[in-house]
Structure 1
Amino acid sequence: MKRVLLTITGKVQGVCFRRYCQSKALEFGLTGFAKNLDNGAVSVLLQGGSAAVDRFILWSNEGSPQSQVDNVLVEEDEADDIYLDFSIL
């Protein structure tokens, strides 16, 4: 299982970005969450199969139809929490 924390910057709030994240995560069989950050970015925690996580990361560079992604920072996450679904926080 692969687990990463993404910080996505650009025009990613107010454009249904988190909802699209949830849809893609469910499509790829991933769990975790997406939440808005105070600085205008979106934080996404993903866990699941390595190939599925990598597919999500590729998708996140494009984002939702109305978003404009400037940067996707990918960090390995080693926390022990287990997520059973993908939530919008």
Structure 2
Amino acid sequence: MPALRPDRRLGPPLGPGADPFRRRRSRPVRPVLSAPAQPSLLNNRGFTSGLILGLVFYAAVAGLLFVLSLFLQDGLHRTPTQASLGFAS
């Protein structure tokens, strides 16, 4: 089976409106030039500690909300709607 070239058109003709999408799809993918955060930041002790502290904090908040919703539903016999409205008020 011959290899397909990227400039070769595939599929049925969809009209003039689909042509820009085909051209974009057939363009080569450009490499990413910059990362969202520099990997050297992980060598910084304060940055790494802050990441770990943030992870622990948000895990604790999520666990507290989960346990509180279970308490409202099982302990106080509220419906799931009443329990969720209890968080909103």
* TM bracket, shorter-chain basis: under 0.3
Structure with bigger RCO (C-alpha 8 Å, 6+ apart): 1
For the pair shown, the structure with the greater C-alpha radius of gyration is: 2
More helix by share: 2
Q: TM-score, normalised by structure 2?
A: 0.20
